[in-house]
């Protein structure tokens, strides 16, 4: 099983600042990585797939990068609606696995 | 618009059974693999099971293998999860999720979830 490790667990950021979230895979997953955003009481929402491709209607301030085992989600200028939990997910191998999540909170 | 509506959750005793349903609309259900993903209270996301578009292939997390069975009825645009021998650690919000249009198993649409509580 591929283990996905996200860091940090919590990120405190001021509105307008840049946020950088990391996701590491225990073995290469090529570019088979997705990022999701989850707000309290809501289902996850797809942000990024293929490590760097934005999903439909996702604002350009969200960007993804990386391949192999190291991946990054960057939010260029945090808006109030971006404070949420973010998860990465690998889909290169079965079983599908998620990272433990990074909570982005208001500083 | 794509919609996924889960149902069937509830309170069940340890060792009991429950069947979840997910009714889909807004897309050609028979063309897409479908999955169940769960989230224990206050915890992260855990993939549970997937069924291919034609129902011919199924996949399970080790934590549920041999206890849960995923299936689909394309004539009803409905996904199912039969859960047997339930344990306290199965307590979670269960989401159904649609496979991406690209044919890869990331999820472009999610339902709102149905809550399963396993407790005596």
Residue A99 has pLDDT above 90, yes or no: yes
For the cut 90, the answer to whether the pLDDT of residue B20 exceeds it is yes
Scanning every residue of chain B, which has its alpha carbon at the shortest distance from the alpha carbon of A100?
Answer: B44
Which phi and psi (to 5°) does residue B90 adopt? Answer: -85, -5
Report yes or no: B65 and B49 within 8 Å, Cβ to Cβ: no
Q: Is B42 exposed, middle or buried (0-12, 13-18, 19+ CB in 10 A)?
A: exposed
pLDDT digits (tens, 9 = 90+) for B34-82: 999 999 999 999 999 999 999 999 999 999 999 999 999 999 999 999 9
Tell whether A94 lies on the interface with B, counting CB pairs under 8 A.
yes
Q: What is the DSSP string of A46-59?
A: EEEETTTEEPTT--
Q: What's the pLDDT at A85?
A: 98
Would you say B17 and B86 are in contact if contact means Cβ atoms under 8 Å apart?
yes
For chain B, give the mean pLDDT. Answer: 97
Find the mean pLDDT for residues A82-89.
97
What count of Cα atoms within 13 Å lies in the side-chain half-sphere of residue B71?
A: 9
Q: What share of chain B in percent tops pLDDT 90?
A: 96
* Owner of token pair 């667990």: A9
For residue B102, what pLDDT is reported? 80
Min Cα separation A78/chain B (Å): 23
Contact A82, A102 (CB under 8 A): no
Phi and psi of A41, rounded to 5°? 75, 10
Average pLDDT over residues B1-24: 98
> How far does A2 lie from chain B, in Å, by closest CA?
12
Q: What are phi and psi of B29, to 5 degrees?
A: -55, -40
Give me the mean pLDDT over the A46-66 stretch: 97
pLDDT at residue B19 tops 90: yes
- Residue A67 has which token pair? 């391949």
For residues B59 and B82, is the Cβ–Cβ distance under 8 A? no
What is the per-residue pLDDT across A3-53, written as a single tens digit (0 to 9) for each?
A: 999 999 999 999 999 999 999 999 999 999 999 999 999 999 999 999 999
Nearest-by-Cβ selection for B105 from A87, A96, A99:
A96
- The pLDDT, as a whole number, for residue B101 is 84
Mode of pairing for the β-strands spanning A10-13 and A102-106: parallel
For testing contact with chain B, the best of A32, A95, A98, A99 (most B CBs within 10 A): A95
Given a cut of 90, is residue B103 above it in pLDDT?
no
């Amino acid at each position: 099983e591929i283990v996905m490790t996200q860091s940090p667990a919590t990120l405190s950021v001021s509105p307008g600042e840049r946020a950088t979230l990391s996701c590491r895979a225990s073995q290469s997953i090529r570019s088979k990585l997705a990022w999701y955003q989850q707000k309290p009481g809501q289902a996850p929402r797809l942000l990024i797939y293929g490590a760097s491709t934005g999903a439909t209607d996702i604002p350009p301030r969200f960007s993804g990068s990386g391949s192999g085992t190291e991946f990054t989600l960057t939010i260029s200028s945090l808006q109030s609606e971006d404070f949420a939990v973010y998860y990465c997910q690998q889909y290169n191998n079965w079983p599908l696995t998620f990272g433990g999540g990074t909570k982005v909170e208001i500083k | 618009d794509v919609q996924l509506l889960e149902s069937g959750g509830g309170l069940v005793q340890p060792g009991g059974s429950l069947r979840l349903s997910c009714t889909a609309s807004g897309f050609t259900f028979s063309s897409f693999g479908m999955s169940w993903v769960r989230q224990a209270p206050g915890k992260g996301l855990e993939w549970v099971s997937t069924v291919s578009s034609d129902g011919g292939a199924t996949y399970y997390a080790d934590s549920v293998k041999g206890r849960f069975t995923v299936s689909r009825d394309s004539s009803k645009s409905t996904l199912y999860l039969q859960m047997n021998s339930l344990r306290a650690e199965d307590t979670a919000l269960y989401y159904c999720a649609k496979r991406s249009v690209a044919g890869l198993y990331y999820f472009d649409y999610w339902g709102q979830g149905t809550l399963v509580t396993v407790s005596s």
